[in-house]
Amino acid sequence: MARFSAASAMGLAAVCLTALGLAATPSVGALPPEAQWVVHRSVSVAAARKMIGACEELAARNHWLVAVWVLDDGGTPAAFARMEGAPVLAVETAQEKARTALRIGHPSGDIGAGLDKGELQLLGLHLFPMKGGLPLLADGRVAGAIGVGGAESAQDEECAQAGVDALSR
């Protein structure tokens, strides 16, 4: 009885799908080769190095001590540098900020604004709600992120911005 029901349910489903034009054998071959792959833009090590250099330069000029992470489009670490005297904790805060920016596609500090408005559910997403993380955008898509920690968070963000700006020079 149970088997009969299942079979008839499947039959009914097939009829419905056919009616919708969805049950035809999927024509895999019809998919053009270029449509089979999604091509990602990501940050190269050369770019990461350049960004970190610019970031560090601004920090040094202002006597800020920072640590900087650059992550690629998948969140994989591409490069890192920590200035002497920058707190060891900044190794982690900088990375968390970069991850946050990467995941939301916006500055990590934008989360903080949401929290100020009482959007506490944001805290459950493992996001780091402090300034200092910025996404890297290529053709409007997130291609990586930079995260800075160690100084005041507004200063961290300035350094991160210097890094982003370096890419357009």
Partner 1 sequence: MLKHTVVAQTVVARAAVAQTAVALFLSAALSGAPAQSAEPPAGAPPQPAPVYGSNITLAQAKKVLAAAEAQAAKVHADGAVFAIVQPSGALVLFEKMDDSTYVSIEFAQAKARTAAITRRATGGGPGGSPPTPDLIGLAGGLPIVVNGRTIGAIGVSGVEGGGDTAIAQAAIRALESGDSP
Residue in 19, 28, 84, 169 binding partner 1, rule: CB under 8 A: 84
Task: Tell me the one-letter amino acid at 69.
Answer: W
Residue 24: φ, ψ to 5°? -60, 150
Shortest distance in whole angstroms from residue 75 CB to partner 1: 11
Q: Under the criterion CB under 8 A, does residue 78 sit at the interface with partner 1?
A: yes
Residue in 7, 12, 45, 154 binding partner 1, rule: CB under 8 A: 45
Residue in 20, 22, 39, 88 binding partner 1, rule: CB under 8 A: 88
Cα 34 to Cα 45: distance, rounded to the nearest angstrom = 27
Cα 102 to Cα 65: distance, rounded to the nearest angstrom = 23
Burial (CB count within 10 angstroms: exposed 0-12, middle 13-18, buried 19+), residue 158: buried
Of 1-9, 30-38, 82-90, 146-154, the segment contacting partner 1 by CB under 8 A is 82-90
Q: Under the criterion CB under 8 A, does residue 143 sit at the interface with partner 1?
A: no
CA neighbours within 13 Å on the CB side: how many for 3? 0
Of 11-19, 80-88, 114-122, 155-163, the segment contacting partner 1 by CB under 8 A is 80-88
Q: Under the criterion CB under 8 A, does residue 115 sit at the interface with partner 1?
A: no
Contact 53, 80 (CB under 8 A): no
Binding residues for partner 1, per CB under 8 A?
A: 44-45, 48-49, 56, 76-84, 88, 91
